[in-house]
Structure 1
Amino acid sequence: MLSWRVVRGAWLGAMGRWLTVVAAAAGTGLLLLSTLGWALGSAQPGAGAGARLVWCLLPVAVTVQLAATVGRAQPLGWPRPGLAAIGLGRTATVLIGAAGAALACAAGSAVALLVFLYLRGDLDGVPYAGSASGVLGAGHRLPVAGAATLLAAVPLMAAGVAAAGLWQPRAPKPGAAPVGLPWGVALTAVGLAVQVGAPRGDTLPLPSGLGSVSPATAAGWLVASAGMVVAGPGLVHLCGRLLALHRPGALRLLAGRAMQQEARRIGRPVGLLCATATAAVAVYHLQSGVGHRLGPLTAFAAALIGASVLVIAGTAMLEARSARARSTTALRDLGASPALLRGAVALRAGVLLAVAVPLTAVVAGLATVPATR
């Protein structure tokens, strides 16, 4: 409970990140419980409930990553000598981050359960209760074991991912090139090749009646998305090296070196943003093809995933800004003008956009081939 006692007096940004984790866990828990309620109320759930549960894995994965990111950010921001002075070593730091992530997700799961029971009409005496009873299996007994299993999945996974992220080996040399770029490019190429070559299939129905795809198409999209995330740090580092090549001036040198230093910190969130954007483009093409809008649950899940990914990227950017605060102070002491520092930030952002936007467009164009041919 130490981390949460510290958070009570934290600034608004830290509180906002934890509240975002609670909200994301509540939304994901509600999606999982709605799948259970639909299975209870459907006469022949069959593979439909399984397909709904499979697509719920996407918001689950993003929510777990969000909780792990916020859970890692707090103890890593504390001074290690101060933690050691009060008897908190590496193991205690790992436990603090994992417990904070699990507790936030557990609070969100509790909120999801209350909202689900309210929508089903199981809470007597509450105004407007049961407003969604027709699609959540109202009148059927809710299996306690099944609901508990679904709600416990996100907190347990978030604790494990946060602990794995904090239990790291010794940090690499600052500015060293990440080694994941070739592997990420290879994974992305393999995933796109699988998507392009996958036949049409009706094994895995898409949400909101957007059609059906073969398992190979879904697997190819997952592999390509994972490749973009893996390649993110190496791609950012490469951009920084290219920016600082051939007699750079002060502006290019500052921007390029900063990108190389921050590649490991912001690379994976940037790759995750690109992967999410490609998925959004693919969904847009599918929606245009079938000619109807997304259903409420699908739109809610898409908004949840998009907001969580933006918070993950924003948290990484804030961590990078905090990490270079000492360097920024030193540059100001040396006489660097505020315009030069702002120009370096703008140049880094422009280079990232100039690389990420075309890459996302190319991957998204290839990813929609199976749906449009």
Structure 2
Amino acid sequence: MLALRLVRGGSPLTLLRRLLVACATAVVAFLLLAALSHALAHPQDSSASLVRLVWCAVPLAAAVQFAAAVARTEPGSRSRSALDVAGVGPARVPLLAAVSTAVSALLGSGIALVVYLHLRGQLATLPFDGAAVRLLAAEQPLPVAATLVLLALPPVAAGVGAALATRPRVAPAVAAATAPVGAGGATVPSAVSATGAGGDALAPADVIPQRDEPAFRMTHGPLPAAATLPWGTALIAAGLAMETYASRSPKPLPLSSVLSNSAPGVLGGWVLTAVGLILAGPGLTQLCGWLLSVGRPGAVRLLSGRVLQREARRLGRPLGVLCAVAAGALAAGELYARAPEDGARLLGPLTILGSALVVFCVLASALTAAAETRAFRSSANAALVRLGAPRRVLRGAVALRLCVLAVVLGSLTYAVAELAALPLTS
């Protein structure tokens, strides 16, 4: 009941995010039902139907990631005071997030079922009724058990993802000398008043909110994000090597052969490379922050570098997923440009719908993570303004962070995409 009240009583922005989660899960459920229709229409070609069903895991994973990112921004997962008064401890926050996310996803599954039946021609007197009779195998009766299982899969997966994203974490504390400022209870590390060797004053490195605020609990101390960078690099190298070895053939492999699992070694290499990019995302973000802080940085560089290092885990994982999707899209585009007549067979309405959903969810997850980071740092930014920091310094730090991340991650994404497409086009 409390989870339903949280769903109903959210702010307009929170309700919009939940509606977007419902729309994303609706598309996933529709793609699953479309795969079921293909299996019903082609019982003799079970392998092709299985490939379609397996490829639905990509938009499902993207939708679950977006649902988890939205669950982390829920007011109940960030503001603990009201839940403490209601007797809800930290252990029940994941349960509340899972239930509220599952409710939104269940709404999406219901919408998908209505649209699916409408396009099959089973809901008359409505516009576009029966517009996809052949595509969705309207002449075949739907198995009730399989339909219910497929419709329940997105809500269950989204609820589990939300619960894992909001589970309590214990971050290692950092021993830093702090000095109280103002009456708001905020504290500032000793680097605020330090000066460089040449007399240049260092900018405020970071402002740690008071201990009862969520920002303190979640960001007090840099998490070991760089620990995943070697593993990510190793997986990227292993994936590219595996793809190069598996693609040795007298003629280049077309895109349809890769995506239809006719070349499992190449597809496996792509999957390993994508996982490596996702694992390397937090470490690369922290590395960008370290590069900004090298030497004798000024106010903008120091503030940008410290923020990237502290928020590397929260920002790095969505950015790594974004890099993986962008690299896969660039590699697929390179293969499509070499053989457009072969790739045109893959560009059906369902393929375009699933690809658009993946791109939307990945971009929305990255923007949601950025909004979450901004919300957690609002008290620190306010304290910096009270200390006299000009707002142009804060805006310059944001712009510098975006530029560095775009250059480093964009260059890596382009290089990986070219290396992934090279063995298949040469």
Give TM-score, length-normalised by structure 2: 0.82
Matched, 1:19 2:19: yes
Matched, 1:186 2:239: no
Report which of the two structures shows the higher radius of gyration computed on alpha carbons: 2
Separation (CA, whole Å) in 2 of partners of 1:9 and 1:207: 47
Tell me which residue corresponds to 2:55. Answer: 55
Separation (CA, whole Å) in 1 of partners of 2:99 and 2:300: 42
1:261 Cα deviation after fit: 1.2
Moved over 4 A (4+): 204-213
Matched, 1:351 2:404: yes
Structure 1 regions of 5+ residues with no counterpart? none
Tell me which residue corresponds to 2:70. Answer: 70
Tell me which residue corresponds to 1:232. Answer: 281
Of stretches 10-19 and 294-303 in structure 1, the one that deviates more from structure 2 is: 10-19
Question: CA offsets, 1:309-354, max 9 Å, x none?
Answer: 0110011000000111111111111111111111010001011011
Tell me which residue corresponds to 1:265. Answer: 314
Tell me which residue corresponds to 1:175. Answer: 222
Match of 2:301, as an amino acid?
Answer: R
Matched, 1:313 2:366: yes
Separation (CA, whole Å) in 2 of partners of 1:208 and 1:9: 49
| SS of alignment partner, residue 180 of structure 1 | helix
Q: Is the Cα–Cα contact under 8 Å of residues 200 and 214 in structure 1 kept in the other structure?
A: no
Cα gap change, 1:237 to 1:290, in 2 (>3 Å): same
1:76 Cα deviation after fit: 5.8
Q: What are the equivalent positions in structure 2 for 1:35-184 lying under 5 Å apart?
A: 35-42=35-42, 44-75=44-75, 77-173=77-173, 174-178=221-225, 179-184=227-232
Separation (CA, whole Å) in 1 of partners of 2:366 and 2:56: 22
Match of 1:186, as an amino acid?
Answer: A
Separation (CA, whole Å) in 2 of partners of 1:200 and 1:12: 54
Percent of residue pairs identical: 44
Separation (CA, whole Å) in 1 of partners of 2:313 and 2:172: 10
Q: Is the Cα–Cα contact under 8 Å of residues 71 and 97 in structure 1 kept in the other structure?
A: yes
Q: Is the Cα–Cα contact under 8 Å of residues 293 and 301 in structure 2 kept in the other structure?
A: yes
Tell me which residue corresponds to 1:275. Answer: 324
Matched, 1:300 2:349: no
Query: What RMSD, in angstroms, separates the aligned Cα atoms of the two structures?
Result: 2.2
Of stretches 77-86 and 88-97 in structure 1, the one that deviates more from structure 2 is: 77-86
Match of 2:293, as an amino acid?
Answer: A
Separation (CA, whole Å) in 1 of partners of 2:352 and 2:270: 20
Of stretches 32-41 and 65-74 in structure 1, the one that deviates more from structure 2 is: 65-74
Paired residues in the alignment total 371
Separation (CA, whole Å) in 2 of partners of 1:200 and 1:103: 48
Question: CA offsets, 1:278-327, max 9 Å, x none?
Answer: 11112212322331442211111110100000110011000000111111
Separation (CA, whole Å) in 2 of partners of 1:197 and 1:137: 40
Cα gap change, 1:300 to 1:51, in 2 (>3 Å): same
1:207 Cα deviation after fit: 6.3
Q: Is the Cα–Cα contact under 8 Å of residues 279 and 364 in structure 1 kept in the other structure?
A: yes
Tell me which residue corresponds to 1:199. Answer: 247
Separation (CA, whole Å) in 2 of partners of 1:84 and 1:207: 54
- Greater fraction of residues in helix: 1
- Match for 1:244 among 274, 287, 293? 293
Cα gap change, 1:260 to 1:209, in 2 (>3 Å): closer
Tell me which residue corresponds to 1:366. Answer: 419
Separation (CA, whole Å) in 1 of partners of 2:127 and 2:166: 45
Structure 2 regions of 5+ residues with no counterpart? 174-220
Cα gap change, 1:68 to 1:91, in 2 (>3 Å): same
Match of 1:196, as an amino acid?
Answer: T
1:91 Cα deviation after fit: 2.4
Of stretches 112-121 and 213-222 in structure 1, the one that deviates more from structure 2 is: 213-222
Q: Is the Cα–Cα contact under 8 Å of residues 51 and 205 in structure 1 kept in the other structure?
A: no
Tell me which residue corresponds to 1:324. Answer: 377
Separation (CA, whole Å) in 2 of partners of 1:180 and 1:91: 27
Cα gap change, 1:20 to 1:200, in 2 (>3 Å): farther
Of stretches 343-352 and 11-20 in structure 1, the one that deviates more from structure 2 is: 11-20
Tell me which residue corresponds to 1:223. Answer: 272
Give TM-score, length-normalised by structure 1: 0.93
Of stretches 326-335 and 284-293 in structure 1, the one that deviates more from structure 2 is: 284-293
